[in-house]
Amino acid sequence: MSSDRYIISAPGKVILFGEHAVVHGKTAIAGSLDELRTYALFEKRIDGYLELNLPDLGLQRAILWPTSILPYNLVNNVETKEGPQKLQFNDILFHKIKSIVSNGQDNQEINHKQQIAASTFLYLYTCLKYNSQTSWDGMTICVRSNLPIGSGLGSSASYSVCLATGLLLAFGYISPPFENKQDFKKSSELINLWAYQAEKVLHGTPSGVDNSVATYGKRRYSVHQWSDSKYKGGFIDMGHHLLNSLGVGHPSLDKVREIAAQYDLHTKLTGAGGGGCAVTFIRNDVPKEKVENVKKDLNASPHCFECYETSIGGHGVGVLDTCISTDLQEFLKSEKNKLAEITGWKRTDEFRMSLRINELRKSIYGSTFLIL
């Protein structure tokens, strides 16, 4: 049974090895991030309007559409209950949605990034609403994230997973609390499948790693244990140099490496490259003061690098307790570092329902990846 309100949360990701190889069907190793997440609030409306709030993308006001303008007649492939292979990306629908988004707003200018994010939402909404038996006729949505957006840490995948989960819940395709393992498995597969469609809107031809990591996540697994026990700095350096040789490096990422190397720490670029984020691995034996000093040096460099200290293995997608009283205004205006608190994500496990399955996945997209 569908409720009137959901708060969803999904993690960002870091790719440790193989970010470009995975696009060509080779193996990558990736992990979900702890505490760097996207949060989405879904509220039912019955007035036939969709309201989308994306303040992190700089949208000053909500975007509003009547649900009646959506091209449901172009939906031809809603195979939500079938196997993933049956779900094809619908180009005709996507182009129509894009034109609705770019024509539609008389009260504010919407830039390209905002248009793509809005199209992603409308694409999933139109596909999933078609054929659904639900009392939701319209909804208000607000998405917030404490991830850097467009920097290689999977903000788009966590956005996609939040949208897919909220819509699948609202339209009754899945239902919390995912009580038994079978429900767990089915719901997470469906979320991942639809998040992948969203990633296609955002990325074109994604490998599917990012949305899988944001869906499945994993139990906490600290970078310290990981780097100590299995891999040494040489691997990390080699990964970085190989990516540089592909031409996806950036001088500022080399600068991060240079500063961290002064403290005997190893760094590589992560994600697509060409800018974005580098990841520095911190061994168990590195004292806290040393970490603070590296961060200070990175901040103080002419590039003013921003540092996020985290571990690998955050929870996968979760549906948070709907009794939490956070309202739209509070959610919209919250500082990024307060999102976990105001949504209740910081409360104990018994208050949240989380989907987590950890395994080596031979993906439906053709690539193999290990989720840490």
Ligand X SMILES: C[C@@](O)(CCO)CC(=O)[O-]
Helix (H, G, I), strand (E, B) or coil at 166: helix
Reference 270, options 154, 146, 147; nearest CA is: 154
Q: If binding is defined by CB under 6 A, does position 271 make contact with ligand ATP?
A: yes
- Of 74, 272, 357, 364, which lies in the binding site for ligand X, with binding defined by CB under 6 A? 272
Q: Which of residues 131-150 bind ligand ATP (CB under 6 A)?
A: 143-145, 149-150
Determine contact, residues 32/11, Cβ cutoff 8 Å: yes
Give me the least distance between CB of 262 and ligand ATP, in Å please.
Answer: 27
Determine contact, residues 212/363, Cβ cutoff 8 Å: yes
Helix (H, G, I), strand (E, B) or coil at 361: strand
- Of 210, 214, 253, 268, which lies in the binding site for ligand X, with binding defined by CB under 6 A? 210
Give, as one character, the DSSP assignment of residue 339.
H
Strand runs (DSSP E) across the chain, as ranges?
Answer: 5-17, 27-44, 49-53, 63-66, 139-145, 266-269, 278-281, 318-320, 352-354, 360-362, 368-371
Q: If binding is defined by CB under 6 A, does position 365 make contact with ligand ATP?
A: no
Q: If binding is defined by CB under 6 A, does position 328 make contact with ligand ATP?
A: no
Q: If binding is defined by CB under 6 A, does position 15 make contact with ligand X?
A: yes
Active site residues: 156, 210
CA atoms 221, 192, 24, 242: torsion sign: negative
Q: Which of residues 57-96 bind ligand ATP (CB under 6 A)?
A: 57
Answer with the entry of ligand X, ligand ATP, none that 43 interacts with (C-beta below 5 to 8 A by kind). none
Give me the least distance between CB of 350 and ligand ATP, in Å please.
Answer: 27
Which range of residues in 51-59, 164-172, 230-238, 307-315 is near ligand ATP by CB under 6 A? Answer: 51-59
User: Which CB, 145 or 187, lies closer to ligand X?
Assistant: 145
Q: If binding is defined by CB under 6 A, does position 56 make contact with ligand ATP?
A: yes
Q: If binding is defined by CB under 6 A, does position 227 make contact with ligand X?
A: no
- Provide the token pair at 210: 């990012």
- Cα distance between residue 323 and residue 319, in whole Å: 12
CB neighbourhood size of 349 (10 A) = 9
What is the full DSSP assignment across 201-232?
Answer: HHHSS--SHHHHHHHHB-S-B-HHHHHHHT--
Which range of residues in 207-215, 219-227, 279-287, 291-299 is near ligand X by CB under 6 A? Answer: 207-215
Q: If binding is defined by CB under 6 A, does position 22 make contact with ligand X?
A: yes
Q: If binding is defined by CB under 6 A, does position 207 make contact with ligand X?
A: yes
Q: If binding is defined by CB under 6 A, does position 208 make contact with ligand ATP?
A: no
CB neighbourhood size of 180 (10 A) = 8
Reference 319, options 356, 357, 353; nearest CA is: 353
User: Which CB, 105 or 225, lies closer to ligand ATP?
Assistant: 105
Summarize as ranges the residues that interact with ligand ATP (CB under 6 A). Answer: 38, 54, 56-57, 113, 116-117, 143-145, 149-157, 159, 202-203, 210, 271-272
Summarize as ranges the residues that interact with ligand X (CB under 6 A). Answer: 15, 19-20, 22-23, 152, 154, 206-207, 209-210, 271-272
